[in-house]
Structure 1
Amino acid sequence: MRKLSMDELNRKTVEEFKQSGKNPVAVVLDNVRSMHNVGSVFRTADAFLIESICLCGYTPRPPHRDIHKTALGATETVHWAYYSSTIEAVYALKKQGYAIWAVEQAEGSIELGKLNRAMFAGSRMIQKVAVIFGNEVGGVDAEVLKLCDGCIEIPQSGTKHSLNISVAAGIVLWELVKLVNRAVKKV
């Protein structure tokens, strides 16, 4: 076994990325304070061809050296917008036809592994999904939760009951992209 060279990885150029079809998933960062978390989410969004990122409230925005350090150029590829509040972003996404899901430990939350049945059940087939990641200390704001179609919870079995936002984003976005792609192929 050998590692592939950079040439063998067939990475897209910035222009090829911008022209590529995106997965119909948006990320909303609700008052995330760490520039490193923001940069990491940009990088993950680039890796999974996520449609866009909404940076809300006091979430740091590009350009910034500390975001760029972690994003490794993904701020130049992934479409992003700033909203003064997460509620404003949620209303805008709802107008665009997105189902809104928060990643939060909440009453009635659905375990990530069981999301398929919950998200795609019934007569309303979801075509676009926005997923909200909350502040590192307080999580997703309670007023924002009231506007969500549901909450996704990542099952955890250890003594810690939270994950860093960048880790949670990687886990959730991987699963969402798989689910959305499966659902779109069925249509």
Structure 2
Amino acid sequence: MKKNERKVQDERENIIEGRNPVIEALKSGRTIEKLYVSKGDVEGSIKMIISMAKERGIVVNEVDRRRLDDMSITRAHQGVIAIVSEYRYFEVEDILEEANKKGEDPFIIILDEIEDPHNLGSIIRSANIFGAHGVIIPKRRSALVTATVAKASAGAIEYTRVAKVTNINQTIRELKEKGVWVAALDMDGEICYSKDLRGPLALVIGSEGKGVSKLVKENCDFIIKIPMYGQINSLNASVAAGIIMYEVKKQRGIKGE
């Protein structure tokens, strides 16, 4: 496959690969148009996937594993690929409504040009685990919800609201008008443990190379950082996001343990 053809395929938003992502898609009721499994591979979780699909009346196509290899975007399909309806993005209001429905202060993750789909998927996974009500991404210069993102999220994309907006700065201003405090994660900020991160909050995570843009930082209420104690002074975007989300959850009080 030519490089430009692979790029177009990478941007498709109607493929889910891997056992856990497909299981979560089936559980969530996502529309699955076709399901492909590796011929002869009907043990363990694949057997469960086939059973769940048949319960929903989804036709299961057993194909040669080489065909799955050709179809695969992630190169880690684990013997199963689902062709699904394209991901339906939410509105920012839907994220706020989710918080209101749960009787909780809004906790929102804003991503400033995260272009690596693996990072986006990992951040969505952490957002789900730490109780964020949704993730906001820009329409341009950002990874979209594709097969790679779904795989990296381990199925969390089926339960986490992702909104796609035209202008991040405008969205930040609108959130502030609704009483949401907005904090950027940047090395120039105050140590996160020293700041009160309770109450309505949106966290801005910057891109892998450039961090949070200057204009976005200027629109935020305050800037926080994760203290570094080793020789390396930076963290992967998804790792940093997970750490700061845990800090927010810890300050709000972790329940269920």
> Is the partner of 1:82 in helix, strand or coil?
strand
Q: Is contact 2:105–2:199 with CA below 8 Å preserved after alignment? A: no
> Is the partner of 1:72 in helix, strand or coil?
coil
CA RMSD of aligned residues (A): 2.2
Q: Is contact 2:105–2:201 with CA below 8 Å preserved after alignment? A: no
Match among 172, 177, 193 for residue 113 of structure 1? 193
Matched, 1:44 2:116: no
Partner of 1:99: 181
Match among 20, 27, 31 for residue 113 of structure 2? 31
Q: CA deviation at 1:102?
A: 0.2
Q: CA deviation at 1:55?
A: 0.6
From the superposition, tell whether residues 169 and 96 of structure 1 become closer, same or farther in structure 2 (CA, over 3 Å). same
Match among 58, 61, 79 for residue 144 of structure 2? 61
Which structure has the larger Rg?
A: 2
Please, what TM-score do these two structures have when normalized by structure 1? 0.76
Identity among equivalent pairs (%): 27
Distance 1:178 1:159 in 2: 27
Q: Which amino acid aligns with 1:59?
A: S
Partner of 1:86: 168
Distance 2:28 2:126 in 1: 15
> Is the partner of 1:105 in helix, strand or coil?
strand
Q: Which has the higher contact order (CA 8 A, sep 6+)?
A: 1
Post-superposition CA distance 1:22-47 (Å, at most 9, x none): 66210000001100000001101111
Q: CA deviation at 1:180?
A: 3.1
Match among 153, 158, 173 for residue 225 of structure 2? 153
Distance 1:89 1:162 in 2: 27
Gaps of 5+ in 1: 1-12, 120-125, 183-187
From the superposition, tell whether residues 114 and 48 of structure 1 become closer, same or farther in structure 2 (CA, over 3 Å). same
Distance 1:80 1:92 in 2: 17
Distance 1:42 1:23 in 2: 19
Distance 2:115 2:151 in 1: 16
Q: Please say which of residues 38-47 and 88-97 is displaced more in the overlay.
A: 88-97
> Is the partner of 1:138 in helix, strand or coil?
coil
Q: Is contact 1:101–1:149 with CA below 8 Å preserved after alignment? A: yes
Q: Which amino acid aligns with 1:99?
A: W
Please, what TM-score do these two structures have when normalized by structure 2? 0.56
Distance 1:94 1:129 in 2: 9
Q: CA deviation at 1:96?
A: 2.6
Q: Which amino acid aligns with 2:106?
A: P
Partner of 1:7: none
Distance 1:14 1:88 in 2: 32
Q: CA deviation at 1:161?
A: 1.2
Q: How many residues align?
A: 157
